[in-house]
């Protein structure tokens, strides 16, 4: 194949396209084999600490020497804060300690670790402001914020079929079909991938609905119809998300984790599949929580459930006290943040709980997520204590008191009363078994001693001078000889 290029027909530049294609394929093959075929491709991009430092220094030199500083104080303040955050992120991505996850690249998870630190510092700053200053500070992020917003009431007419509305009798159901329905499904799908246990996911899902029942006198947003709580939320959105999440976990647990270089895969379909699998786990660890196996694991599981529920409540209370509408992008960014850091934190908690001898301290991401959850709750308490302190109805208090009492009684019975009883029974059984084994040993020794003494007693002469009677086998041999003589 020949390609002719040039401006005149008399002097064309003749180029061999096949040779160029072969050269291009060779260079591409060498590049993928040496770099992209392994994790060196990502490492060559993200672990060049000197390169990142050089680029960062060049940017600062440009701002200092070549750019004229604006005279707008508010603009300079915003830009200075953003630049400080970016410098910290550059440092963290290149220098922070790696976590338990390595795919798609450790630098990705180091980035989210630094974002976690920045978010916690932001929450601490908000916590130390007055209520008015804190709410007005949100205007620096978005001028539309800082204005009180009414909460939407999901309750009201709870008829699934409204015969009074001849145009659309099912209008109550369609009114509840907003953007939160797919958000509930996607959220519980991701939570299942994080927790990796069906029972814990269902307990958290049901417990949060009880919390909405209990706190609807504080936040009108929690006021929902019964079928919205148990059918749309628990069964449809949450239940379907948990089911799909468990199916994904089953696929990940059975998937073979055998990695090879990208260029070593012969087909293009295999190469594309290998690129897609770069965003899947490098290996798989199945979470076996076993909460009833020990008191330490039981308390750890209770703590995980409590922190999950508290983080869920913070989502609603924070936007209530900071005057953020539910559809604001900051609310969505917070959820994206917890999606990325929650998986790492849960893995670190499981490693710390499952193997405390190797993991002697709680992981850095888990520590920060716990601190963020507590700080968010403290902001809610400080910014609107009147809402938090609204008295809970008496019958609801009775239900929660009964539930906590049952958990406490079960804990005492399982790990103290039953444990002591089983220990005493095991000790008594072990003692009896040892005594019985000792008796059997003595009997065996006595029987063996008698058998050893028996042959010597049979050969001894009797008192009348005769020998002992022949044994049964001798009698049998004698009768056999007599029978042979008779036959002959």
DSSP per residue, 346-407: HHHHHHHHH-TTT--S--HHHHHHHHHHHHHHHHHHHH-HHHHTSPPPHHHHHHHHHHHHHH
CB 334 within 8 A of CB 376: no
Same domain, residue pair 67 and 112: yes
Question: Burial of 102 by CB count in 10 Å (0-12 exposed, 13-18 middle, 19+ buried)?
Answer: middle
DSSP secondary structure code for residue 152 in this structure: P
Same domain, residue pair 98 and 139: no
- Cα angle vertex 403, ends 402, 406, to 5°? 85
**pTM listed for this prediction:** 0.74
Domain end (from 352, 382, 411): 411
Identify any residues that bridge with 144 across adjacent strands, giving them in sequence order: none
Same domain, residue pair 231 and 286: yes
Q: Tokens 């948990």 label which residue?
A: 242
Same domain, residue pair 250 and 341: yes
Identify any residues that bridge with 16 across adjacent strands, giving them in sequence order: 2
DSSP per residue, 76-92: HHHHHHHHHHHHHHHHH
Same domain, residue pair 154 and 29: no
- Which residue blocks in 128-267 are alpha helix, DSSP H? 131-141, 171-176, 180-195, 198-215, 226-227, 239-254
Q: Tokens 């908690």 label which residue?
A: 349
How many Å apart are CA 202 and CA 303, to the nearest integer? 16
CB 349 within 8 A of CB 366: yes
Q: What share of the chain is helix, strand, coil (3-state, %, to 5)?
A: 70, 0, 30
Same domain, residue pair 403 and 275: yes
Q: Which two three-digit tokens encode residue 101?
A: 């996850």
Type and span of the H or E element at 108 = helix 106-127
Residue 318: which of 275, 378, 367, 258 has the closest Cα?
Answer: 378
Establish how many alpha carbons lie within 13 A of residue 472's alpha carbon, considering only the half-sphere containing its beta carbon.
0
- CA 372 → CA 64, 124, 307, 468, distances in Å? 35, 9, 11, 97
pLDDT, residue 66, reads: 87
pLDDT, residue 221, reads: 80
Helix axes 364-383, 295-321, angle to 10 degrees: 50
**Mean pLDDT in runs of 10 for the chain (488 residues)?**
43 50 54 46 58 91 89 88 94 90 88 96 95 92 85 64 71 70 89 93 94 88 82 89 93 72 68 74 84 91 95 93 90 93 94 84 94 96 91 90 94 84 63 61 72 59 47 46 46
Same domain, residue pair 346 and 388: yes
Same domain, residue pair 123 and 145: no
Count the domains in the chain: 2
CB 227 within 8 A of CB 236: no
The reply to whether 230 falls in a domain is yes
The reply to whether 387 falls in a domain is yes
Q: Tokens 């680029």 label which residue?
A: 55
The reply to whether 460 falls in a domain is no
Q: Could you tell me the end-to-end alpha-carbon distance of the chain, in angstroms, rounded to an integer?
A: 113
The reply to whether 2 falls in a domain is no
Containing structural domain, residue 53? 19-128
CB 363 within 8 A of CB 352: yes
How many Å apart are CA 322 and CA 134, to the nearest integer? 8
Domain end (from 128, 163, 191): 128
How many Å apart are CA 333 and CA 367, to the nearest integer? 21
- Cα angle vertex 267, ends 261, 270, to 5°? 60
Q: Which two three-digit tokens encode residue 67?
A: 């750019």
The reply to whether 418 falls in a domain is no
How many Å apart are CA 373 and CA 310, to the nearest integer? 7
The reply to whether 441 falls in a domain is no
- Each residue of 23-38: b (16+ CB within 10 Å) or e? eeeeeeeeebeebbbe
Type and span of the H or E element at 2 = strand 2-5
The reply to whether 173 falls in a domain is yes
pLDDT, residue 371, reads: 97
Domain end (from 65, 93, 128): 128
In 3-state terms, what secondary structure has residue 69? coil
The reply to whether 137 falls in a domain is yes
Same domain, residue pair 117 and 137: no
DSSP per residue, 179-218: THHHHHHHHHHHHHHHH--HHHHHHHHHHHHHHHHHHTTT
Same domain, residue pair 187 and 329: yes
Same domain, residue pair 145 and 203: yes
CB 116 within 8 A of CB 368: yes
- Cα angle vertex 457, ends 451, 458, to 5°? 95
Same domain, residue pair 93 and 170: no
């Amino acid at each position: 194949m020949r390609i002719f290029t040039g401006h005149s027909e008399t002097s064309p530049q003749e180029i061999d396209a096949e040779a160029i294609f072969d050269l291009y394929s060779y260079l591409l093959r060498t590049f993928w084999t040496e770099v992209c075929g392994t994790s060196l491709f990502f490492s060559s991009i993200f672990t060049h600490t000197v390169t990142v430092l050089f680029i960062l220094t060049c940017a600062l030199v440009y701002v200092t020497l070549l750019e004229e500083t604006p005279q707008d104080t508010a603009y300079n303040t915003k830009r200075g804060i953003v630049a400080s955050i970016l410098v910290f992120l550059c440092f963290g991505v290149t220098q922070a300690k790696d976590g338990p996850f390595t795919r798609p690249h450790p630098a990705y998870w180091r980035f989210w670790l630094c974002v976690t630190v920045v978010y916690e510092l932001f929450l601490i700053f908000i916590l130390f402001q007055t209520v008015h200053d804190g709410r007005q500070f949100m205007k620096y992020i978005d001028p539309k914020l800082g204005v009180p917003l009414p909460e939407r009431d999901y309750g009201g007419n709870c008829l699934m079929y409204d015969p009074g509305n001849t145009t659309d009798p099912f209008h109550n159901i369609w009114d509840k079909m907003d953007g939160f329905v797919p958000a509930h499904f996607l959220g519980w799908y991701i939570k299942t991938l994080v927790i990796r246990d069906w029972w814990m996911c269902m307990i958290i899902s049901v417990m949060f609905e009880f919390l909405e029942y209990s706190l609807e006198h504080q936040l009108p947003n929690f006021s929902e119809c019964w079928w919205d709580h148990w059918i749309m939320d628990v069964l449809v959105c949450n239940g379907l998300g948990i089911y799909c999440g468990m199916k994904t976990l089953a696929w990940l647990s059975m998937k073979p984790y055998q990695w090879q270089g990208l260029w070593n895969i012969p087909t293009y379909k295999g190469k594309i599949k290998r690129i897609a699998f770069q965003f899947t786990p490098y290996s798989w660890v199945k979470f076996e929580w076993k909460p009833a196996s020990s008191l330490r694991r039981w308390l750890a599981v209770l703590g995980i459930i409590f922190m999950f529920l508290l983080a869920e409540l913070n989502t609603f209370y924070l936007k209530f006290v900071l005057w953020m509408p539910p559809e604001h992008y900051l609310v969505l960014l917070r959820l994206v943040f917890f999606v990325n850091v929650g998986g790492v934190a849960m893995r670190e908690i499981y490693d710390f709980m499952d193997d405390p001898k190797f993991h002697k301290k709680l992981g850095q991401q888990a520590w920060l997520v716990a601190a963020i959850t507590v700080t968010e709750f403290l902001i809610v308490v400080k910014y609107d204590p009147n809402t938090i302190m609204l008295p809970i109805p008496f019958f609801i208090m009775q239900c929660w008191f009964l539930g906590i009492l049952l958990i406490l009684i079960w804990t005492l019975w399982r790990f103290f009363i039953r444990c002591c009883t089983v220990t005493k029974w095991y000790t008594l059984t072990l003692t009896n078994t040892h005594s019985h084994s000792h008796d059997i040993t003595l009997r065996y020794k006595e029987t063996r001693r008698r058998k050893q003494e028996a042959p010597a007693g049979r050969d001894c002469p009797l008192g009348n001078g005769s020998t002992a009677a022949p044994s049964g086998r001798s009698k049998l041999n004698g009768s056999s000889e007599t029978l042979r003589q008779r036959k002959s």
